[in-house]
Amino acid sequence: MALPAADESLWLRRFHPRPNAAVRLVCLPHAGGAASSYAPLSALLPPSVQALAVQYPGRQDRRHDTPLESVHELAQAVFEALRPSAGQGPLALFGHSMGASVGFEVARLLEDELGVVPAVLFASGRPAPSLHRSLGIHRMDDAGIIAELQAVSGTDDRVLDNAELLRLTLPSLRSDYKAAETYRYRPGPKLACDIVGLTGDGDNRVSIEEVAAWKEHTAGSFTLQVFPGGHFYLQEQKAAVAGVLTDTLRAATRTGHPLH
């Protein structure tokens, strides 16, 4: 299918502009998630880290754009948005759940097509690319998808209790779940960039071992960070995660600009 235009203004959101940032952190949402899901985390990052939250088509201010149903298509579109400025200073990637798979494929494109090695890939709440799992959620009826949202506690109750909001949200949700569940790893070289795996110790959708398996996909270093909480541990552990991101980026970029 034809991809929508991939200019930065369409795909990337700066909730807290930081013109003197030493590193850009591209944040990729989970299935059904929007750029705004990263606004609280962006607020907790230091002035030297510029968060760029990705807005997938089919939600919020892009609700009239056709959702994409493939991780590879999403990654290609995000890559095209990043391409013009990819070599202009350190760049890191943070993806949660489906967003981690998208981030992995964006990192591959950056390294393979531009020779740009991300400072770090933060892979959160998602099995390693080579481990495939599908619950068949994208093939469920609307009630089944809503039940899944309730099970993982990642959606605002105000959405779940509002029939009109649900009606507007379900098409992009279904497309995202299809992208996540039909994603298949394509064998290739390991990433040159470091990877940090993050997960909640009570995640009922992803095991700690499945997140630890990300170490097989980097020729650089791998670190595993486990936080209290479930699949959406990030909602309660924002400050702790922001601390890990800041410390890791300070060590990885070594730009001479303190991240404080």
Give me the catalytic one of 48, 97, 101, 172.
Answer: 97
Determine whether 257 is an active site residue: no
Give the phi and the psi of residue 193 in degrees, each rounded to 5: -75, 155
Give me the catalytic one of 30, 138, 217, 231.
Answer: 231
CB 99 within 8 A of CB 28: yes
Number of Cβ within 10 Å of residue 182's Cβ equals 14
Determine whether 97 is an active site residue: yes
Residue in 122, 118, 128, 104 with CA at minimum distance from that of residue 216:
128
For residue 96, give the 3-state DSSP assignment: strand
Residue in 121, 127, 239 with CA at minimum distance from that of residue 180:
127
Burial of 223 (0-12, 13-18, 19+ CB in 10 A): middle
| Active site residues per annotation | 97, 231
